[in-house]
Amino acid sequence: MGINASQLRDELGAYSRTNNKEIRSMAYQKSVTAKYMRLVASVKGKFPALQAITGHVVQGFKAVWQPLGTTEFRVNPLVNYRQKVNYPIQPDTIQASWLADLYSENKKPQDMPISQYIINQQLMPAVVRDRELLICKGVYDANDLQTFGKSMNGIVKIITDALVPGNANPVFQVPMVAITSSNITDQVTSFEQAIPEPLKDLLTKVFMSKSNLEKYRLDYFKKYGVYPSYTDNKGYLTILGERELIGLPGLNGSDLIFSTPDENFLRLIDINDDPVITDIQAQDYDVKIFMEWWEGVQFWTNQMVVAGVIDGTVTGLGTPALNEQYYPTLN
């Protein structure tokens, strides 16, 4: 027996209300990259991240007041973006795929209602997949929000912008050559060697694409006859700093390699927002699912992000003054 748009709307509405917490959890918590980020909740729009940098204050004793040391305050604006889903469903089409799925898994309709199939098997996996890509490679364009990939800035865009000369909040650059399957192990080791001393103990992870992580493993095996060190808790480890190598699926197609302290890698959401699924409507032959939430990725302090730059010529924050200010052991 077929199901019409109104019936499907009612069933989806009942399922989403009953399982609202589970749906929110699926939307917010299953992205691969997000699990490595520190959650900053209740953020909508822009949020100022304040940092204070204090210069040298210690001097030899003399019984006279000799002021030494200044504190400079900087603001790194953290940006959160409003996201939405307008997901159309044609009952006849989705019912056919639902029945085929039931048949392939030897299930009865009561084992997996069509509303559960639509939300858990079709909609939410697509949301999680898209969030992963946006977190890594999104490029915000206020004039083209209806195109996927244009609803927020991701990691690659944020770091790329921070590499522009004169940026008020630059990242720490490490020059690299083009990555290949025969040089990536040496490239990562050189990357680790260039990490400024004050950050060495704070950086526990090196992020790259999953494809480049595979290249690293193969290159390592060809060079040393074994695969990189591996533990159940940390996964694959680098040679020099025994830092965890993280392959992010959203970075595939990018040769970006970066590292930052765990507490500096931020995921911005609003957990106090309205339910993720905001409305379900039936119109003509279609059912429309509406979703809304806020999402953003940022670094609290860009200057504590170390990024490899292909064909780069600069090591550090771009100027001697900034290097001295943040990492005085450099000069």
Confidence of residue 302 (pLDDT cuts 50, 70, 90): very high
Domain boundaries, the chain: 5-47+78-151+269-299, 155-266+300-330
**b/e burial code for range 89-107 (CB count within 10 A of at least 16 → b):** bebeebbeebeeebeeeee
Distance CA 210, CA 136 (A): 12
Confidence of residue 231 (pLDDT cuts 50, 70, 90): confident
More confident residue, 56 or 103: 56
Model pLDDT, residue 272: 67
Q: What is the reported pTM?
A: 0.86
More confident residue, 326 or 94: 326
Distance CA 219, CA 257 (A): 16
How do 81-89 and 286-299 pair as beta strands?
Answer: antiparallel
More confident residue, 213 or 282: 213
- CATH class of the domain whose range is 155-266+300-330: alpha beta
**64, pLDDT greater than 80:** yes
Confidence of residue 331 (pLDDT cuts 50, 70, 90): very low
**1, pLDDT greater than 60:** no
Distance CA 96, CA 87 (A): 18
Q: What does the pLDDT look like over 160-207, one tens digit per residue?
A: 999 999 999 999 999 999 999 999 999 999 999 999 999 999 999 999
User: Distances from the Cα of 94 to the Cαs of 11, 18, 52, 100, 167, in angstroms?
Assistant: 14, 21, 55, 10, 49
**End-to-end C-alpha distance for the chain, whole angstroms:** 77
Distance CA 9, CA 248 (A): 36
Residue 324, C-beta contacts closer than 8 angstroms, at least 6 positions apart: 330, 331
